[in-house]
A and B are shown apart, each in its own frame.
Chain A
């Protein structure tokens, strides 16, 4: 049963019903506008106090749903989306975005319906490459993904990961 202010184990540690509403609103606005909303924006959308939204942002960060710019209440990552330009440019019919990494670049295409491209470059030779996803299928993609950090340490320093 959902009750305002209570937690539900399946949401993750400490995440409340308000946090769910904040999460949905911030993602919807991020996709609509192509940039991350501020806490003020989300508070206006939900007709709640900005302090409640900043609290929700912190709990969502603790639950590894979003990442805030250190020392602020500004969104840095609402995975898979990045609020700042990266080496992973995503184009879809719903707009252009930045992914946080190759996983999130392709994840942005998946999240937005499974059609689009991710343009990046090989970190070794700087050769640009565009990965195309059509109808939920990756088309003719040569190359490899490389993860430097083992899975259990991804959140030790998510910016580096």
Chain B
């Protein structure tokens, strides 16, 4: 889970490392997911999301499709 300057840099890095290209998306979307995911982590009554809840959060920030399917 890395940050690149652009999708072209992702493509070049994948070619050079031989790693398959996964999912690339905006840092704004990354922030929205990180904020929603971790905002309450220090709360005493925090609990881990169920797969359905996590899936709904991915959908809410626009991360959909087979790559994001948890089950």
Contact = CB atoms under 8 A, between A and B. Distances in A.
Contacts of A127: 5
Nearest to A24: B44
A59 to B, nearest CB: 12
Contacts of A108: 38
B30 A106 contact: yes
Interface residues of B, number: 44
Interface in B24-71: 24-31, 33-35, 37-39, 41-42, 44, 46-48, 58, 66-71
Contact of A145 (B29, B37, B46): B29
Nearest to B7: A144
Interface of B: 1-7, 9-10, 12-13, 16, 19-31, 33-35, 37-39, 41-42, 44, 46-48, 58, 66-71
18 contacts: A12-B48, A105-B34, A106-B35, A107-B35, A111-B41, A129-B3, A142-B27, A143-B6, A144-B4, A144-B25, A144-B27, A145-B1, A145-B2, A145-B24, A145-B27, A148-B21, A150-B67, A152-B69
Interface of A: 10-12, 20, 23-24, 27-28, 31, 63-65, 79-80, 87, 100-111, 114, 120, 122-125, 127, 129, 131, 133, 136, 138, 141-152, 161
